[in-house]
Structure 1
Amino acid sequence: MDDFETDSVSEDPLYDDPTASTADYDYSDLMCDLSPVRAFRQAYEPPLFWMIAVVGFLGNMAVVWIYLNYRRRLKTMTDVFLLNLAVADLLFLVTLPLWAAEASSSWTFGAAVCKMTSAVYKVNLFSSTLLLTCISVDRYVVIVQTTKARNLQAQRRRCARLACAVVWLTALLLATPELAFATVAPAQTAEGPVDFCRMLIPARVGRSTKTATLSLQVLMGFCLPFTVMAICYGAVVATLLKTRSFQKHKAMRVVLAVVAVFLLTQLPHNAVLVTEAAQAADATITDCQQLKAFLTAGQVLKGVAYLHACLNPFLYAFVGVRFRRDLLQLVRFRSRRRTSTISGKSTPGSARVSDSDTSQALSL
């Protein structure tokens, strides 16, 4: 198969998806008119992507603002992980307007931006899942290994920073295929020739390499993190069932909610990616109507997967009483400071959080 798809498949919106590592499937034998799927993408993605970008940017900026203004809150490993999670989401959210513009018309931002935006998505995907995995391990240590966690607080904070560095490096390495193979490619649609930013693996690389690449990304981006989370939170639940400590139950609610939302948004999309891996290995979709349904469902589930970037801050704000209180306290402090500056008076005190407040960073 050539580096570029045949005209009969050039309308396939799967090619436009930066998450599709095997985006150059050969559907030419089907001679299937995929223009309805393309039209669905044009109507569905731009408004959804803009909504996610705006809401997610405001929410994640609030998270970063709170943590950076309440530096003493970064006393636990989970605080460090959640701050990095917000940063990862922000990096992804700034690319969504570019994908919305491409879905509306064409990719007009050049090959270099194409590579960067494709890689940023994968960096966000892997860093998010690995950070949530780190949170689950930390909660296991705090709740199941309570004495050890209390005696090794300083070491755990250093481990958190080291773990974050390893997470970012791993995510960058796993995003290497996007940096290598994402490119701007021409396609012929019903409206005429357009350019798309595609993950386009050359034919000389071989189908086995394409399948292995996508399989590795699904394994590292979902399967392995999910397995670790299931083991850690299984042990945590077993421990909580044996204790009457209400504080521990409260501390778990935010983290469990964050993980649950991530699984609900990412699991269906990863099922699509597994199907794509099977399709790359051995064509499993041979019916035109099935292909249209699969591609349309893939577009919907991709949008659902992107929602995770804007949902986490609202979990903190509406589930976490401490986060909501700190946000309100910081806003009031800024307002009082502006007022005191205008009046020439200084406002005693500051919007700091005491050590007792930071001892349970995720309490409700």
Structure 2
Amino acid sequence: MNTMDDITAEFTTMEPVSPSATADYEDYPDYECDVGPVRSFRAQFQPPVFWLIALLGGAGNILVVWIYLNLRRRLKTMTDVYLLNLAVADLLFLVTLPLWAAEASGSWTFSSPLCRVTSALYKLNLFSSVLLLTCISWDRYVVIVQATKAQNSQVERRRCSKLVCVCVWLLALLLATPELIFSRTSQEGACRMVFPPHLGNKTKILVLSLQVSMGFCLPLVVMAFCYSVIVAKLLQTRSFQKHRALRVILAVVLAFTLSQLPYNTMLVMEAAQASNLTITACDDVKLFKTVEQVLQCVAYTHAMLNPFLYVFVGERFRRDVKQLLRVCHRRPGANHSQAFRSSTNKASVMSGSTNKASVMSDSETSQALSL
């Protein structure tokens, strides 16, 4: 029978990274605890969920990128630039989900270098997407709350958005560096981070703390501040689109909080577990790991929901999709891109004539929130 010191020593050197195995079951040796049912649940539950997220999210994000680059070719605002980069970040994560689904079904059968790259792509998406969502929140805050300043600096702000995106990707790559260094295929056949013994528990806790703080807490604070001020501003604005804008904001904040808060709470508990093994009873261990697997899948749905929450709910992009479907239906053999742009230009002229009657604050607000 293993002693508690043996269990603690084993726990401190192994840090899971794969979406299908956030904490390997070998951290809790099978000396008195049969974790076979937990493994069976993972093998049955996670692969179909991962494939569903990959297929739906891939289709949505590919359509987003295609419309931005090939049809509208419009990156007129900072939010447009951020949304395009957000879709690319989600696609980078979604292409790794089939690999994690294969691992959840049995074990990691691919090479260690691929393990490093795949794990790094997962963290790269995690940090880049949440930082981009934070940038979108701040941009909407500037456009709506500081409308005059935003109107007078549109060109500079567009240039600045590209620089901000470069900084976001570089920061996300820096935060994903631990995966590139420590990820490998373990002896148990799992893709995970394996720390040298001299690094121990402090490195594991640091990695988890960094993920929770930079991947959830700090962005949530910024988003809560920006959207609370935006809501207060909209409540003072006489706009017929005010209530629609409030619904979009509420959907954005709730989707982010509900998908990320439960899983990040589990990560905090996992950091505490790494520190002093707060959970030792076999039934509690199995329950903890089962709940974590479910909340993990909920958190990963953000890559599937983003196109709908941040793009398809938007008025402009929804109009783009409708016009694209109309053009494809009417002209099956025609140049769809050219026909679409012609149709879009007509719609823009019509919408512009109807918006002339509204005051500047209302039009700026509706444009910022309609995407």
Q: TM-score with structure 1 length normalisation?
A: 0.85
Q: What residue number does 1:191 align with? A: none
Give the counterpart of 1:223 among 206, 217, 228: 217
Q: What residue number does 2:172 align with? A: 171
Q: What residue number does 1:31 align with? A: 32
Question: Match of 1:246, SS?
Answer: coil
Does 1:278 pair with 2:279?
no
Whether contact under 8 Å (1:80, 1:160) holds in the other structure is yes
Tell me how far 1:325 sits from its aligned partner.
1.8
Give the counterpart of 1:312 among 306, 313, 328: 306
Tell me how far 1:230 sits from its aligned partner.
1.0
TM-superposition CA deviations, 1:41-75 (whole Å, max 9, x none): 00001111111111111111111112113445311
Q: What residue number does 1:92 align with? A: 93
TM-superposition CA deviations, 1:234-278 (whole Å, max 9, x none): 211121122212345545644542342122111111111111111
Whether contact under 8 Å (1:143, 1:236) holds in the other structure is yes
Whether contact under 8 Å (1:218, 1:274) holds in the other structure is yes
Which segment is superposed worse, 42-51 or 59-68?
A: 59-68
Structure 2 counterpart of 1:350, which letter?
S
Q: What residue number does 2:370 align with? A: 363
Question: Match of 2:236, SS?
Answer: coil
Which segment is superposed worse, 232-241 or 91-100?
A: 232-241
The 2-side partners of 1:29 and 1:339 are apart by: 63
- 5 Å-filtered alignment, 1:234-245, equals 234-245=228-239
Which segment is superposed worse, 284-293 or 309-318?
A: 309-318
Distance 1:71 1:251, change over 3 A: farther
Give the counterpart of 2:255 among 235, 252, 261: 261
TM-superposition CA deviations, 1:162-183 (whole Å, max 9, x none): 1111111111000011111111
Whether contact under 8 Å (2:16, 2:22) holds in the other structure is no
Tell me how far 1:333 sits from its aligned partner.
3.0
The 1-side partners of 2:115 and 2:214 are apart by: 23
Give the counterpart of 1:294 among 263, 269, 288: 288
Whether contact under 8 Å (2:127, 2:172) holds in the other structure is yes
The 2-side partners of 1:206 and 1:318 are apart by: 45
Give the counterpart of 1:303 among 275, 297, 306: 297
Tell me how far 1:216 sits from its aligned partner.
1.5
Structure 2 counterpart of 1:139, which letter?
R
Distance 1:105 1:146, change over 3 A: same
Distance 1:81 1:19, change over 3 A: farther
Distance 1:16 1:145, change over 3 A: closer
The 2-side partners of 1:53 and 1:310 are apart by: 7
Tell me how far 1:339 sits from its aligned partner.
2.8
TM-superposition CA deviations, 1:59-108 (whole Å, max 9, x none): 11111112113445311111111111111111100110001111112211
Distance 1:71 1:160, change over 3 A: farther
Q: What residue number does 1:68 align with? A: 69
Structure 1 counterpart of 2:317, which letter?
F
Tell me how far 1:131 sits from its aligned partner.
0.6
Whether contact under 8 Å (1:23, 1:199) holds in the other structure is no
The 2-side partners of 1:25 and 1:280 are apart by: 13
Question: Match of 2:67, SS?
Answer: helix
Distance 1:287 1:331, change over 3 A: same
Structure 1 counterpart of 2:257, which letter?
L
- 5 Å-filtered alignment, 1:8-23, equals 15=16, 17-18=18-19
Question: Match of 1:199, SS?
Answer: strand
Q: What residue number does 1:134 align with? A: 135
The 2-side partners of 1:17 and 1:38 are apart by: 14
Which segment is superposed worse, 349-358 or 197-206?
A: 349-358
The 2-side partners of 1:61 and 1:224 are apart by: 29
Q: What residue number does 2:117 align with? A: 116
Tell me how far 1:315 sits from its aligned partner.
3.0
Q: TM-score with structure 2 length normalisation?
A: 0.84
Tell me how far 1:202 sits from its aligned partner.
2.3
Which segment is superposed worse, 172-181 or 199-208?
A: 199-208
Structure 1 counterpart of 2:211, which letter?
Q
Whether contact under 8 Å (2:134, 2:223) holds in the other structure is yes
- 5 Å-filtered alignment, 1:136-215, equals 136-187=137-188, 195-215=189-209
Tell me how far 1:279 sits from its aligned partner.
1.2
**Aligned-CA RMSD value:** 2.9
Question: Match of 1:73, SS?
Answer: coil
Question: Match of 1:202, SS?
Answer: coil
